[in-house]
Amino acid sequence: MRARAFGLVLAICGFAIPRLSAEITRIEIVSAKPWLDGHPVGKAGAYEKLQGRIYFAVDPESPSSRHIADVSLAPRNAQGRVEFSSDFVVLRPRDPSLARHSVFLEIPNRGHTQSNRMFFSTAPGSGFDILNLDANGLNDAFLFEQGFTVAWIGWQFDLGPDLIRLDARAANVNSVVRDSIIVNAPGLRAARLGGSNSYCASDAAQPNARLIVRNRFNDRGRTIARADWAFARLTSDGEQPDPCGIVYKHGFEPGQIYEVVYQGAHPPVAGLGEAAVRDFVSWLKFGGTSSTAGSPLREHPETLARVIAYGYSQSGRFLRDFLYHGFNADERGRQVFDGMFVASAGGGRGSFDHRYAMPGEAGNSVLADLRPADLFPFTDSVEPDPATGARDGLLASAEASHTVPKIFYTFSSTEYWARAGSLTYTSVDGARELPFSPNSRLYFFPGTPHSHGPFPPSRQRGAYSNFSNFASSGWSFRALLLDLDDWIAKATTPPGSAYPHLGRELVSREHVTFPSIPGVEFPAWMPRNWRMDFGPEFPAKGIISIEPPKLGDAYRILVPQVNRDGIDLGGVRIPEIAVPLGTFTGWNYQLPVHPNLDYLGGLIGSFIPFPATAADRKKSQDSRASIAERYSSREDFLTKIRAAAQNLAAQRFLRTDDIPEIVAENARYWDALATGR
């Protein structure tokens, strides 16, 4: 049966599998058809889409399951295994002779792709829904033109049915869990529990549950009288008991942290998501049992010779956690991913594999209140933490199993300001630099934000004090992906790491020499990251027994020094940063401002345009040179942009083929900004 047949529904039934193994037991392909109506996509020709569901079973007693929190408490089948399943989507060239022998497997971010506007782009408003891939608005198809097989698999359990997701079994346990409520406006009395980032209470009574209010993350806080709040919801008939809601009769005060600590209901075994990714990629590369040998997904195994993982933000933190927990070795000790493109993860991992995991939560930089996201160790190599006595490294497990992939880490400026980025290569006290693995590179893109905004720049309806930052490293990501694939396939040495080093380029926040700009205040604080104690069973078993966690000393986090325009030093300077029309930063202020929470603008950066003329500069008393003082004309500006792009292409940070569009893009920036409009 051909995989490209329309309306295909294929079920490959599983047989008994060997003891001590985690396997794909069944594959259901519910759709296999030409993509983009069979129209060719560059040199790779036409693509086809295969979509369906993968069924897994893991032995909870297997050594490879030891990092999956609570898997031993999940229901088992007749063979003693824990079953679960995931959605998958695969796009591949219909003619295998035109395919690159590489799989680009993106880890979905909360069920969505982050490759759009990085490795391909769709027309505004057309979108790119993984489960319903209608890309008729595809106006740039770089990833597909290069012949990559592109795949997604669901790993996150707490998503709606319309998103690519994992179906995980729940553990037979109830224990302590914590939800947080932070509001910006007065008048709120009721809030919901049990959403995508929390859990319902096991029951609505719970006399020993606590509601705590704090002014700062590191305050001890005070406990609100149990009679003043309830697990409930507000209805037209008044307050009704509800284990998935909370009602506080005095109302939540803006800018305060409210935490309800209670007994939660049975938590899904979240760590099965990492096992799903491991076993799917292993199966793609090496095949599986006889029960899945005939799957159309592997009818051209030569096109699956190597697999590169891509993850942006949450998905990049997932990959760091995946490496840390040793999942890049499959059940037989074979290396799973050949390469990883870990973008904008900073120093964090995530709430992915522990009891009552909250995968959608991040660090304190986005007001995710003291979640186990930015945890030691941060560096590739083993490092000590003198404050706790811990000694560990991100790649220690992979190094022990000889399964370290080739890794590209990329940072925007925001990763230093909001994602503890400096800790990935400094000691925990910020006093010295530590080496990356020989298999790793770090590329920092100064002046770029974690979440880039639209152009023309806006303040997003008054939500931020400065214009949002529109600079993007997307053009460089394309070149880097090819560099990474060549490193794996041809042993071609990639560009050397480029990032700010301790001393002149990497400093404490208070030593940044930011220029004087009218109406712009350089941050007097930044998000902090503390050592957190979640209880004695958390490090080895993922069981949280202390909520809120006990806080130790804060880590010392450093940020890039800036030039006289306020743009970061060090790293790979994309053309709009090398030849700027304004100041680009990795920080902004969300409104209302919450200095007591050390909160800035989350993951949003700032764009502060230069004065248009010398007269404008003098009138406003801006210390930065005006656009007219920097560039004699539009042509002069674009000549400098082209030269900056060509310089990056010579270093393999850009593709020569992309330079005309980069110049055209910057021409649009000039036309909007150079006139002062």
What is the arithmetic mean of pLDDT over 84-98? Answer: 96
User: Which DSSP string corresponds to 46-71?
Assistant: -EEEEEEEEEEEE-TTSGGGTTSTTG
Overall residue count recorded for the chain in this entry? 677
Residue 15 has pLDDT above 50, yes or no: no
Residue 515 contacts residue 584 (beta carbons within 8 Å): no
Q: Which residues contact 78 (CB under 8 A, 6 or more apart)?
A: none
Query: pLDDT at position 525, please?
Result: 96
Q: Which residues contact 271 (CB under 8 A, 6 or more apart)?
A: 67, 68, 69, 70, 71, 325, 352, 353, 354, 357, 542
> Which tens digit of pLDDT belongs to each residue from 407-431?
999 999 999 999 999 999 999 999 9
Return the percentage of the chain with pLDDT > 90, whole number: 83
First-to-final CA distance of the chain = 61
The rounded distance, in Å, linking the Cα atoms of 319 and 157 is 17
Under DSSP, is residue 262 helix (H, G, I), strand (E, B) or coil? strand
Cis upstream peptide for 384 (omega within 30°) = no
Residue 570 contacts residue 442 (beta carbons within 8 Å): no
The rounded distance, in Å, linking the Cα atoms of 323 and 86 is 20
Write the DSSP symbol of residue 429.
Answer: T
**CB-side exposure of 283: number of CA atoms within 13 Å?**
29
* 56 φ/ψ angles, rounded to the nearest 5 degrees: -125, 160
What's the pLDDT band for 460 if we cut at 50, 70, 90? confident
- Nearest CA to 531 among 556, 546, 551? 551
Q: At what angle do helices 659-673 and 634-650 cross, to 10 degrees?
A: 150
Chain CA centroid to CA 362, Å: 9
Residue 542 has pLDDT above 60, yes or no: yes
The tokens for 272 are 């099965």
The rounded distance, in Å, linking the Cα atoms of 209 and 676 is 57
Angle at 370 between CA 366 and CA 376, to 5 degrees: 100
Residue 21 has pLDDT above 60, yes or no: no
What is the arithmetic mean of pLDDT over 75-95? Answer: 96
Query: pLDDT at position 136, please?
Result: 59
The rounded distance, in Å, linking the Cα atoms of 586 and 671 is 24
What's the pLDDT band for 14 if we cut at 50, 70, 90? very low
The rounded distance, in Å, linking the Cα atoms of 198 and 142 is 38
Write the DSSP symbol of residue 581.
Answer: S
Least confident of 16-25, 64-73, 259-268, 350-359: 16-25
The tokens for 439 are 């298999």
Query: pLDDT at position 461, please?
Result: 65
Residues forming beta bridges with residue 88, ordered by sequence position: 52, 153
Residue 599 has pLDDT above 60, yes or no: yes
> Which tens digit of pLDDT belongs to each residue from 585-598?
999 999 989 899 99
Residue 658 has pLDDT above 80, yes or no: yes
Query: pLDDT at position 349, please?
Result: 96
> Which tens digit of pLDDT belongs to each residue from 234-254?
999 989 999 999 999 999 999
Residue 100 contacts residue 47 (beta carbons within 8 Å): no
The rounded distance, in Å, linking the Cα atoms of 279 and 14 is 15
- Nearest CA to 3 among 42, 44, 33? 33
Q: Which residues contact 248 (CB under 8 A, 6 or more apart)?
A: 189, 190, 211, 224, 228, 229, 258
Token pair 């400098």 in the structure block, residue = 640
Residue 433 has pLDDT above 80, yes or no: yes
What is the arithmetic mean of pLDDT over 627-648? Answer: 98
Sign of CA dihedral 114, 117, 118, 119: positive
The rounded distance, in Å, linking the Cα atoms of 346 and 366 is 14
**Chain mean pLDDT for the chain:** 92
The rounded distance, in Å, linking the Cα atoms of 181 and 193 is 10
Residue 293 has pLDDT above 80, yes or no: no
Edge-first strand listing for the sheet containing 606-609: 467-468, 606-609, 582-585
Sign of CA dihedral 618, 620, 624, 626: negative
Query: pLDDT at position 135, please?
Result: 58
What's the pLDDT band for 13 if we cut at 50, 70, 90? very low
| SS3 track for 354-401 | CCCCCCCCCCHHHCCCCCCCCCCCCCCCCEEECCCCEEECCCHHHHHC
Residue 78 has pLDDT above 70, yes or no: yes
Least confident of 37-46, 96-105, 380-389: 37-46
Radius of gyration of the chain from Cα atoms?
A: 25
Query: pLDDT at position 571, please?
Result: 98
Query: pLDDT at position 458, please?
Result: 85
The ranges assigned to domains in the chain are 1-157, 176-263
Residue 20 has pLDDT above 50, yes or no: no
pTM of the model: 0.95
What is the arithmetic mean of pLDDT over 151-167? Answer: 95
Burial (Cβ within 10 Å: 0-12, 13-18, ≥19) of residue 257: buried
The tokens for 62 are 């297997």
- Nearest CA to 107 among 308, 378, 365? 308
100, 180, 429, 507, 509 from 557: Cα distances, Å? 41, 25, 8, 9, 8
Which pairing describes strands 149-153 and 102-106: parallel, antiparallel, or unpaired? parallel
Residue 176 contacts residue 263 (beta carbons within 8 Å): yes
Burial (Cβ within 10 Å: 0-12, 13-18, ≥19) of residue 324: buried
- Nearest CA to 448 among 311, 604, 581, 332? 604
**DSSP H or E run through 583:** strand 582-585
> Which tens digit of pLDDT belongs to each residue from 160-202?
989 999 999 999 999 999 999 999 889 999 999 877 778 999 9
Token pair 């990959």 in the structure block, residue = 319
What's the pLDDT band for 125 if we cut at 50, 70, 90? low
Residue 577 has pLDDT above 90, yes or no: yes
Residues forming beta bridges with residue 604, ordered by sequence position: 451
The rounded distance, in Å, linking the Cα atoms of 254 and 367 is 13
- Please name the amino acid found at residue 408: F
